[in-house]
Amino acid sequence: MLLSNPGFAVSSTPHRMVFQSRSHWTEAEANANAVIKGKIGLHQIVGSRRNLKFISRSVSEGEALTEYDTPFPNDYIDLLKQAKRATELALKDGKQLMEIEFPTAGLGSVPGDGEGGNEMTGSMQLIREFCDILVAPEKVTRTRIFFPEANEVKFARQVFEGASFKLDYLTKPSFFEDFGFGEKVKMADRVKPEDELFLVGYPYFNVNEMIVVEELYKEAVMNTNRKMIIFNGELDRIRSGYYPSFFYPKLAALTKSLLPMMETVYYIHNFKGRNGGTLFRCYPGPWRVLRRMGNKYFCVHQQEKMPSLKEVALDILPAA
């Protein structure tokens, strides 16, 4: 799948609609593995008739699944449990910089299927649900969640109402934001000594956001015991050359500086069309290319290293 290049100007954040969560996760304390019995509430978009409904998928587990051959998730409840487990295993293995990436407009959706503001709203809600099940109660106040820019934090306060996570931002809007400029925020001044985990939510709309993420990593995570998770950052845009290096040299440089240090612990990317399929990974398992037949998913290819989206779309899926 080849991605087209963007225009030169970077537009400002789209209009965001306030939403409410109808329910949150609960955990069975009697179970040593903390099996989740709660359900994610549908995202109720205030002022809109559209609800972000979770699409359920049945899957085929195959006959020769290994311990880490995780089946494709049935729904977003299943997905978040898988992502939690993958993150815990990565943390146990000493991974410091991690990526979680999946579509929010439906498990079978592709980038662009959902309106940009709604996709970010969905990511914000899912970040809340993910943090609720990942972070131990005594670690909540030591977890800092960064959103793309300062205006997002006021929306986040509604979503995270009742929780003690530290809510923060990467950039601050300015008059020149439509041209890709924002007010400089020194990340080292924003973190606190007691912070242990940083989670960065969807830093992809403004090209400066991922550059600030690298600054945050270098100034506050590298050579420390802190951990960082990038949640739905659409890093494939950078990997694929979506941003021309001539116009975005700092962003392109991330492919040689930040991205090689990153472990993708959970990942779903769908391909539509005649040779459609899904690239799926759940740490520490291999990268697998899945094809849906009826209501089941079958693995048609797997490998240890992440293949490029172009390779999956043009080589692996057509040959499957």
Give the predicted TM-score (pTM) of the model. 0.79
Mean pLDDT score of the chain, rounded to an integer? 81
Query: From CA 318, how far away is CA 320, in angstroms rounded?
Result: 6
Q: With 60 as the cut, is the pLDDT of residue 40 above it?
A: no
Closest Cα to residue 241, out of 263, 220, 259, 227? 259
Residue 65's pLDDT is: 43
In the chain the first and final C-alpha atoms are separated, in Å, by 16
Residue 182's pLDDT is: 52
User: 74 — phi, psi (to 5°)?
Assistant: -75, -35
Domain ranges of the chain: 19-319
Beta bridge partners of 267: 101, 281
Q: With 50 as the cut, is the pLDDT of residue 10 above it?
A: no
